[in-house]
Structure 1
Amino acid sequence: MERPQQMMSVDWKSCRASAVVVPDAMSIETAKSCVGDRLVGMLVNADGWNAEEDIGAKWPSERLIGRFRNIARRAMHEEADFVYIRMRQNLHVLRAAVLAATELDGLGVFVEMPVDEDGRTVDGSSAMAVMGILQRIGVAGIILTGEPEDLDDTIEELAPHASIALGVSVEPGELGGMRELESVEFYHTTEPDDARRLLKLAPPSSSKNEPDADDDYILAPVGMHAHFVDVTIDISDPIDLEDHFGETLLELEDQWSGALKLEINTPEDVHLLAEGQYMINRPVCLAAENPDLLEEALCVFDGIALYDGTWELDEDTIDYFRRHYGMVAL
């Protein structure tokens, strides 16, 4: 619903919708008074990144995550059942919005993601990479938008590797013409309980939120790129980010086929990772003796980082890093 007034003109007794998304927190109470026991979610547009304000700050910056955190808190205060995050700008901003929303217990998170004929999002990211990141950091479902034939192809590619719900946003007449896949459950429902079942896929804060995967691989994307790795992947010697990081990456691109171990020793290393991660096209293992520095690095890294136990962490810390940042402990 783009405007709250639209809710007044809907015959909710005969309406087949099982959930409603409203544009802002102020509309939630009105929606709940109109739509019966249907679920009410709030739209969050994942945009607002400003290069001039954010460069040199944490990436995602405290400003950006803080803004989305305030939006999610307003949704929670007004008793929204979920937030519906629409990818508008790039993976960096989308991930910041998700990290902010998943800090709040009990608030489901869904993401709308546009894809083109090549299965890429608005910033050129692989849809497989974006899904691989989102499903490890607390998103309950992804709704793809685009041309029906493009959605068909993308769904077919993503479904075997998805541990969350996949859906599509198309005109009602187009849904019937799309391919039906055994591995995809389309939520085009008439009962609110079906939508509630979908929301239950959002992992509670106490769970590890680590998708089940085939024994042969782990989907561990790095930025725009999807990578499938196994637990025996070769990991490079530690790389000092302050020692000609860019040149080292260029050399290893040609010489190394495994994961790159990036050593985080100082806040400056976190900054260098944030600024230079666009150059990385290999799986990444992050290593830091200081857990606080490791968390800062996990926060700014737009991907799924591996952890090989170089510096020992207690189980509670590992569990937290898994749930919130998707870290994969080998």
Structure 2
Amino acid sequence: MSLPTAPLGRNGPEVVTVGFGLMGLHVFYGPEKSDEECFAILDRALEIGETFWDTSDLYGGNEAMLGRYFKARPGAREKVFLATKFGAYAPLPDGSTGTRSDPEWARICIDKSLKTLGVEFVDLYYVHRIDKNVPIEDTVEALVEFKNAGKIKHIGLSECSARTIERAHAIHPIAAAQVEYSPFSLDIEDNGVKATCEKLGIAVVAYSPLSRGILTGKIRSRSDLDKNDSRLTMMPRFSEENFDKNVQLVDELQAEADKRGITVGQLALAWLVGQGAFPIPGTTKIERLEENAGAAKVQLSKEDVEYLSKLIREAVPAGSRYAPGVGGPLYEDTVERK
């Protein structure tokens, strides 16, 4: 089975327009899934042509699980456009954790990820969070070194400012900028990131495109989540104060989805694709995987996208996307290189 594809950025590789974020299989959204459960989901992803997979060295045992999967499924690696990341919540000299994107740490991380994944290269390597103390030019030059050595194919940035993107791109073409982008998270439309990516031909990869599941329409109560789910404590939009207000906004978008015979989640994903973005929703359920992938086949006209954008602008969600101190540096810039 095949799904629609598009170039990842100007003259970039062809990837499916709706990818698969793997974070939730191991961290943050309830108990870690077993290999058996994960393998079944990944098998089905390959069967339906969902081949743009996104992970990170931050996501618990996710890279290690993928390594076991590729070993158990000969030929699977060749079918996947694989992205991973480094630099978030790294160990610091004082024993704490923070952001590191210096070349020395980058070299340690890429070799560790390749070994853990059991692969010779990754297709896309992101700087997961931007270290404001390291000139972005230094970091990108290290990633170019990895590319020249055959360890990575393309370079990406995550949660960076428009200025950071411009500076990085001046050193080497950046394939993708990964940011939170959804009908409930429109920051990149206002802070210059989206415009800069469009100007430079850089793909926008949208993580949490369903606003951590609330835009699926399937979470109707806080009690629908596991008691250990981080959304209950770390995501203000899921707080007792805000949750019901946000469900009402989802219901408003649901009405638009009903008119088109699709789910509200598919509407949100198709709207992002219509904006030129590549959403990477995650899930732990095969039926949700199939539903999300189906959004790639939803056809929205330019007029549909503009109309929905107006409605989405008016539907302001209650609460910020992260609680204070959570999420690491967002839309960060770095010191200038001397």
Q: Tell me the TM-score range normalised by the shorter chain.
A: 0.3 to 0.5
Give the TM-score taking structure 1 as reference length.
0.41
TM-score, scaled relative to structure 2: 0.40
Say which structure is richer in helix.
2
**Higher relative contact order structure (alpha carbons within 8 Å, sequence separation ≥ 6):** 2
Larger Rg: 1
